Amino acid sequence: MKTQEILRAAKSLREKYAVTDGESFRLKNCNPNETDGLPGIRKIDSKELLDDGVRMMADLQDMLYAQDHWSILLIFQAMDAAGKDGIIKHVMSGVNPQGCEVHSFKSPSTEELDHDYMWRSMRRLPARGMIGIFNRSYYEEVLVVRVHPEILQSQKIPAELIGKNIFEKRQADIRQMEAFMSRNGTVVRKFFLHVSKEEQKKRFLERIDTPEKNWKFSPTDVKERQHWDQYMEAYESMIQTTSSTQAPWHIIPADNKWYTRVVVSGIIIDTLASLNLHYPQVDEKRKAQLQEVRATLMAEK
Ligand code: ATP
Ligand code: MG
């Protein structure tokens, strides 16, 4: 596919799935099984598009790294088995490992619990020129902790600060913090991989029935599934309150893995392409210097 065609496709996918103002957002209007964001693209045609997309992402990342001004923070949130790991593997497949970092956030450690909940994420933010990928993130603080508020007790927060609206306040703080990041050159893009409850069941059964996939399955995943509706409410509230122009959520249909990849790759390409990236410009003084060095090298015996 030609560069211009890929860029056009990427832009239309971003426009279709981005939420920049969450006020009227409803999860029930989003179909996890949808695959029709790009007219004419079906599973069999997606390979070529994905390969071209990976190459384009690699070129853009090279300039991002050389320019050393912007940083990109990609956040992935989802229910278990929605495909976070697979999509991260795909996104990483073409980029220079030197310019990219992945961090996975699990239940906090004792050291982490001795700090506010943002601390561990702040230490992992991407440096300028880098792409940082968060596999889960500080958003767990308004998801798993909201569904299981007893977790708050382990966080060592002064009791008088745990009020009724603690999760709304957290969402407001996160919104502010992301505004701060974007005002300072970190481009924040957030992805909710939206898998259906039926598809999750299918994937769990596959993990149980396929020996090579057994390691991916944890019985606690099924326990969390029992709280499905509460999770969906928490996700909806999170998307409503923390979507913004600078740090949009993208609701990615995740029942078909090939489509999830096409959409996420498109959105990342569109994001990078919108930054007007270029290699550092060489001024006249430096050009003259390079010529001098060249002459010295050529004169070597
Ligand atoms: P996979 O299951 O695909 O390997 P995962 O991201 O589900 O990947 P796990 O080790 O299974 O990794 O789960 C991490 C768990 O940690 C999740 O259940 C998540 O909700 C939990 N977690 C993450 N952050 C927090 C947090 N701040 N407080 C409490 N639990 C958290
Ligand atoms: Mg898990």
Mean pLDDT across 41-45: 83
3-299 adopts what CATH topology? Rossmann fold (3.40.50)
Ligand nearest to the CA of 231: 1
244: pLDDT strictly greater than 90: yes
Q: Which of 105, 115, 136 to mutate to test the pocket of ligand 1 (most atoms within 8 A of CB)?
A: 136
Which pairs from 216-219 meet CB under 8 Å and 24+ separation? 216/81, 218/80
How many Cβ atoms from other residues are within 10 Å of residue 113's Cβ?
16
Rounded to 5°, the CA angle 53-56-57 comes to 85
Give percent of the chain with pLDDT exceeding 90.
91
Per-residue model confidence (pLDDT) at position 38: 87
φ/ψ bin of 129: left (φ > 0), alpha (ψ from -120 to 50), beta (otherwise): left
Q: What is the pLDDT of residues 166-189, one digit of tens each?
A: 999 999 999 999 999 999 999 999
Q: What is the 179 CA–ligand 2 centroid distance (Å)?
A: 30
Q: Please state the atom number of ligand 1 nearest to the C-alpha of residue 224.
A: 18
| Distance in angstroms (rounded) separating the CA atoms of residues 181 and 237 | 22
Q: Which residue matches tokens 């745990």?
A: 162
Domain boundaries, the chain: 3-299
Whether residue 136 has its Cβ less than 6 Å from ligand 1: yes
| Distance in angstroms (rounded) separating the CA atoms of residues 234 and 250 | 16
> pLDDT tier at 255 (50, 70, 90 boundaries)?
very high
How many Cβ atoms from other residues are within 10 Å of residue 250's Cβ?
24
> pLDDT tier at 99 (50, 70, 90 boundaries)?
very high
Question: Mean pLDDT for the chain?
Answer: 95
Do 51 and 268 contact (CB within 8 A), yes or no?
A: no
Per-residue model confidence (pLDDT) at position 245: 97
Mean pLDDT across 235-263: 97
Please state the separation of Cα 28 from the chain's center in Å: 22
More confident residue, 202 or 46: 202
Give percent of the chain with pLDDT exceeding 70.
100
Q: Which of 124, 140, 142, 224 to mutate to test the pocket of ligand 1 (most atoms within 8 A of CB)?
A: 140
Q: What is the pLDDT of residues 128-165, one digit of tens each?
A: 999 999 999 999 999 999 999 999 999 999 999 999 89
Helix (H) or strand (E) holding 165: none
φ/ψ bin of 40: left (φ > 0), alpha (ψ from -120 to 50), beta (otherwise): left
> pLDDT tier at 41 (50, 70, 90 boundaries)?
confident
Per-residue model confidence (pLDDT) at position 1: 75
State the number of CA atoms in the 13 A half-sphere of 207 facing the CB: 18
Per-residue model confidence (pLDDT) at position 2: 86
> pLDDT tier at 198 (50, 70, 90 boundaries)?
very high
Q: What is the pLDDT of residues 110-133, one digit of tens each?
A: 999 999 999 999 999 999 999 999
Per-residue model confidence (pLDDT) at position 94: 86
Put simply, whether the predicted model's pTM sits higher than 0.75 gets the answer yes
